[in-house]
Structure 1
Amino acid sequence: MKANMLAPLSLAERLADLAVDALIDEAELSPKPGLVDRRGSGAHGDMNLALMQASALSLWPCLRQMAEAAQRIGHIATPLRAELGRLGREGEAAMLVTTAGVNTHRGAIWALGLLVAAWALNPADSDPLNVTARAGRLALIEDPAAPIADSHGLHVRRRYGVGGAREQAQQGFPAIIGHGLPQLLRSRSAGVGETPARLDALLAIMAALSDTCVLWRAGEQGLAVLQQGARAVLEAGGSASLAGRRHLRALDARLLHLNASAGGAADLLAACLFLDKAGSL
């Protein structure tokens, strides 16, 4: 009897696998200040690790279809942007069914959807700087079918004059390219384990990002606590050092006291881990 052999995965399926793996890796990374992780729910009374894992898995079809759309359409223009918007809204609906209405990964759908599509557009050029540049060009195109936005992020952008997730994407994800990914590589080169290297990457993103999730929950005071606290951990030697861990615990306590969660930074860490993983394809 012949062995039951699985068919080889398509490029779109492999990219979706890596994106979902990145989301789960981000959710399981611990200890993350103020965020859902293996220890508990952080500042989120309506979320837990199991919910984050289920949410990530629910996005696999959407992410695969986004990569397939990029391969099929083949160039950066309004038709691809419109298709990505449609698929993103369908993916969000599937996510909300899975989570019973809890917004676990709306920002991640935006970031990872763009990056998966950008990667699939030119698999021969997987340099993170070029992938994020292609994603930025896609993000600059208006989605002709996008509904009128009325989100927390929009209110925060208007009140505080920050760019949010949309601007991050349109600029080619500077928080990832300029901060998260370089810090990930620096920490690995210093010989720390993978967990502290990823925590350091998250902290580098937190220190640089005007996180609209934090601004919504805790205003400018909360954002200052986040950015200054993240810098303090890195300046003390990072999350692998004793001094860094003390600062990390202090930051976690302050964010929990403020009920502040850096969801935007978490989404960008997942995107950072995706780019790191996809380089091996």
Structure 2
Amino acid sequence: MKKVGIYAKKNHPDVEKIVFDIRDRLNRDDITVLLEDSVAELIGQVNGFSGDEIPDLVDLVIVLGGDGTLISVARQIGERRVPIVGVNLGRLGFLTEITRDELPGMLDRLVTGEYKISERMMLDSFIYRNGQQIGKYTVLNDIVINKGALARIIDMDASIDGRHLCTYKADGLIIATPTGSTGYSLAAGGPIIFPEINSLLISPICPHMLTNRPVVVWSRSVINIEVKFQDDVVFFTADGQVGRKLLPGDRVEVRRSESRTLLVRSPSKDYFEILRTKLSWGER
């Protein structure tokens, strides 16, 4: 490891000190640290790099913040297979599982190469209008089709590998990776899927038919959703961060991406401990 990039949620009060500490520690082993533009500006450094540029220049990135910050960086890295160290500056995250107190020890392990990586599946999603592709989004967590605040129930035809699944009449639909199963899908009543299982999860949001339940399908499945009817605005969102408006007749295609997110794991936690902590399992 010769070069490390740093991204951060810059409105945290301690980010500046943490960035200096990381840089000082890594520089002692002749590791060059590249800062994303907003981080460089925060600490008064003029030679920052764009978020899209850094993955081509480094061997590993460190993300300071929460799960949302890490998800955004994962999309920027895309297919470049650069490992991500997620450092949570608040409460323990599902993805940013390394705490601030654990960071010094993790930096030592990064220098010596004594760390493990969890490979996470991503999704490619395509939006088609009148037979023409008008958008492509790669996500780590999920894509969501949902109604505007005043819209009525949406009608959506769903198919898997060209075979009709059903017509959902619901407030919306979530298609999630196993990593994303603990996000919006979980709030909508979907199951938790172990993150390294290759599968896709389809979860309706407030379905009109109570028999419409979440469905888990093979990761190689190709899912198509066509918006059939709407009274008002319907939105497509990718990882809850970017997206666009959909029109009647628009088709959303979702399939497993060739890109994978590589997460450096905390040496002191396993996935089930994170679930117990985040979801308060066993507490009264």
Same fold per superposition (TM over 0.5):
no
So what's the TM-score if we normalise by structure 1? 0.29
> Highest CA radius of gyration, 1 or 2?
2
Pick the structure with more helix per residue: 1
TM-score where L is the length of structure 2: 0.28
